[in-house]
Structure 1
């Protein structure tokens, strides 16, 4: 797949809430996933680790009220999109989480993802 095809497919999966399907189909076995300082997990490597991180996030969610995703915007072997989630985490009030997502594609697979957002205060 081209970078544009990978980007379009990822955005389509995300719009349907099919994150695990996207990871299994589109990610390289050697994927590197990076979160900002202050996030529960800063960096993970490998497909299984990314799937575990996704499951950890899902377990923190009490209810997903809605999600918007933009893009994708593609240049060379990179693409970006923004995500906005209306979400209630367990033990926390309903909130809006916004992030910029940047992906790198090699040989038709996502090899790197990096997320830019302001982490919520974990300590209350």
Structure 2
């Protein structure tokens, strides 16, 4: 798949809430996932570790009230999109999350993802 095709497929999966399917189909085995400073985990390496990180996020969510994913912007082997989510996490008030997502593609697979957002304060 081209970078444009990977980008469009990822956005389509995300808009349907099919994050696990997107990861299984579109991510490379050596994926690197980077979160901003202040997030619980800064960097995750490898497909299995990224899947585990996604499962951990899902377990923290009480309800996703709405989600919006922009059309992708593609340049060379990179693409980006924005994701906005109205979500309630377990034991926390309802919040709006807004992030910029940047991806790198090699050989038809996503090999790096980096998310830019303001992390929620972590409570001990």
Give the TM-score normalised by structure 1.
Answer: 0.98
Aligned to 1:82: 82
Whether 1:32 and 2:40 are equivalent positions in the alignment is no
* Equivalent runs, 1:50-69 vs 2, <5 Å: 50-69=50-69
Q: Which runs of 5+ in 2 are unaligned?
A: none
C-alpha distance after superposition, 1:76-116 (max 9, x if no partner): 00000000000000111101000000000000000000000
> Number of residues paired by the alignment?
124
Aligned to 1:49: 49
Give TM-score, length-normalised by structure 2. Answer: 0.98
Cα displacement (A) at 1:123: 2.0
Structure 1: gaps spanning 5 or more residues: none
Dislocated runs of 4+, deviation >4 Å:
none
Structure 2 CA distance for aligned equivalents of residues 53 and 111 of structure 1: 16
